[in-house]
Amino acid sequence: MKTAYSFISAILFLFSLSCRENITDDNLQQQVLQLRDSLNCYRLQVDSTDRTIVADSSLINSFFGKHDIAKLRMHGLKKAPQQIVDSLLNRTDLIPYKAGLGGTMRFWNIQLIKTQWAVAEFTDGHVAGELLLSYKLKEDRGIEWTLLDANLE
């Protein structure tokens, strides 16, 4: 009974606090504008082919960490690891299999391994597989890719 009374009292206290705040149309409009600005920032993260730019944190895994990102940035890649992922996204010619039924092969999952390898999954919607690749940073800050192995699922 005492617990129920405490719970009800806490809810009533929180409700009374929320009633004290003056929410005006101007405040709501300001919040809507801020949310729209945030949404526009996220929309800018989608490029012309509707590929979502991957944040650094989503590329970090047990084989590729913050130390690896720092190492790549020291070698001149200011937007590492995203530059590496973008470079591979543009190299569908590395996929050694033909698309089926008139489709187009595309990468859909890329995981970096340290500062020299990557595993990439690809598909055309019908055929799928994985690639093991190595990459090297060129002096012009480009990225040179080498296919090491490929497998169809």
Please check whether residues 36 and 60 belong to one and the same domain. no
- Do 16 and 76 lie in one domain? The reply is no
Same domain, 37 and 66: no
* Alpha carbon separation from 38 to 32, 34, 82, 140 (Å, rounded): 10, 6, 21, 35
Structural domain for 108, as ranges:
56-152
- Planar angle of CA 60, 72, 108, nearest 5 degrees: 45
Give me the pLDDT at residue 105, please: 94
Let me know whether 38 and 74 are in one domain: no
pLDDT in tens, 88-108: 999 999 999 999 888 899 998
Give the residue, 45 or 17, on which the prediction is more confident. Answer: 17
Confidence band of 49 (pLDDT split at 50, 70, 90): very low
What is the pLDDT averaged over residues 3-17? 55
Say what the pTM is: 0.61
pLDDT for the residue 42: 41
Whether the predicted pLDDT of 57 surpasses 60: no
Number of domains, the chain: 2
